[in-house]
Amino acid sequence: MPLSEFLARRLLQLIPTLIFILIVVFVLVRLLPGDPTSAILGDRALDADVERINRQLGLDQPIIVQFWLFVKSVFSGDLGNSIVLKLPVTTLIAQRLPTTILLTVMAALIALIMAVPLAFVAALQREKLADASIRGAFQVGLSMPVFYLGLILLTVFGARLQWFPVGGYGDGFLDHLYHLFLPSLTLALSLSAILMRNLRAAIIGVLDAEYVSFAHAKGLAPRLILTRHVLRNALISTVTIFGLSIGTLLSGAVITETVFAIPGAGRLMVDSIYGRDYPVVQGMTLALAVLVSVTFLLTDILQAWLDPRVAR
């Protein structure tokens, strides 16, 4: 199957996924404790005011009608207004989501930079001191919770050594990168451990394959064998793990943004849940779910490029 046909099929598969996301977001928000009317008017609101707000929000309609109104508003680009911040939800998403995306991309790049070369070293030096040292060091990062890693890095490199800021987002792109380095490193440590272990095992498996031995027998340069034969085939499973880990990075960003006081989507989500700002929770959850779905699509495309059998 050509790559273009595979891409078209995957895009069509996104449609039921997005419909399912709409249903889940709609149901989960209504399962949260409390209600938007209490958040707007307070606990001592009069019955007449409660009825008025419920009518304005459409909460007096049957649940099917509410869902239909929700779907219409989503496809029209209107996700409502924040109850607490008094701003359109789409505006808040446009302000906060790029910060979380930049944090996630930085964490993913740092994880790859750490995992790929060290996985090669560990695989080529398997069962030796270098292999044991690399796996042991990554195991420490993998066993620690994200918030604990963040607090350690914040205390050592931010408060004590003062190499990095202890919070905030900065002004300008380079300043953003500077402020986001420690949070990105916090997220990257656990992901890099997973990627390194997976890629190491894949490289060892490929190195023992017959076609690699045949390539050595043909007299191909070792660097060419590692890049053309070993790395390309070993990356197939690692790409899958990497794509699936994006959702974990986004969930970890919720905690990391809170620890480092970063004004991103994760911190906004936490504040909105505590403030019962349901339109923001609903809109932000929908935006993050769509972002993860698009990431999975890109992962499948990259897999099909690395291994054309995937597209069949």
What confidence score (pLDDT) does residue 57 get?
63
What confidence score (pLDDT) does residue 108 get?
86
What confidence score (pLDDT) does residue 53 get?
65
Query: Number of helices and strands (H, E) in the chain?
Result: 13, 0
DSSP 155: I
As a CATH number, domain 89-311 is 1.10.3720.10
Residue-range domain boundaries for the chain: 3-75, 89-311
Residue 46: closest CA among 56, 55, 37, 57: 37
pTM for the whole structure? 0.76
Give me the residue label for tokens 């300008």. 172
DSSP 88: B
- Token pair in block for residue 291: 């972002």
* Half-sphere CA count of 207, side-chain side, radius 13 A: 17
DSSP 167: S
What confidence score (pLDDT) does residue 236 get?
73
DSSP 157: I
Q: What is the DSSP string of 226-268?
A: IIIIIIHHHHHHHHHHHHHHHHHHHHHHHHHHHHTT--SHHHH
What confidence score (pLDDT) does residue 33 get?
61
Distances (CA, A) of 259 to 43, 141, 151, 231, 283: 31, 18, 7, 37, 23
Parts of the chain with a pLDDT under 50:
none
What confidence score (pLDDT) does residue 18 get?
81
Residue 131: closest CA among 140, 144, 142, 118: 118
What confidence score (pLDDT) does residue 192 get?
82
Q: What CA–CA distance (Å, rounded) separates 36 from 122? A: 54
